[in-house]
Amino acid sequence: MERNTLKDKTFQLSVSIIYLYRQLCNNRGNEVLACQLLRSATSIGANVREAVYGVSRADFIAKLQIALKETAETEYWIELLQETGTVKSEQGEKLKRDCVEIKRILIATLKSSKFKTQ
């Protein structure tokens, strides 16, 4: 159940970030930050999908750990964009809540997966 929820939530976050990316790229000064945000946010879902098809439990765990790190990076870029007034506070807060929810699922899944290997 969690993996499907995780897959759906990471996909929806990617979609939201793609829309934001398009907005940000309308202003030339935002291109670098927009690219960083796009890269990290879309990487979350990609790593979750890769984890599902991991060749071993260790591979599964490694991919989810990468997704967790990418989620933290995505939060950073969102906070930076908010702090500089590039992204509206409400929009940034929604995206950060989505990241926190994804992190919680990832952490719970990782704990469960690591416990099963012991």
The per-residue pLDDT for range 8-19, each reduced to its tens digit, is 999 999 999 999
Distance CA 40, CA 72 (A): 9
Mean pLDDT in residue range 75-79: 98
pLDDT band at 1 (very low <50, low <70, confident <90, very high): very low
| Whole-number pLDDT of residue 43 | 98
Q: List domains and CATH numbers for the chain.
A: 2-117 (1.20.1440.60)
pLDDT in tens, 5-53: 999 999 999 999 999 999 999 988 899 999 999 999 999 999 999 999 9
Collect all residues with Cβ–Cβ distance below 8 Å to 82 and sequence separation of at least 6.
88, 89, 92, 93
Spatial CA neighbour of 7 closest among 105, 95, 111: 105
Distance, first Cα to last Cα, the chain: 22
Distance CA 51, CA 7 (A): 10
- What is the overall mean pLDDT for the chain? 93
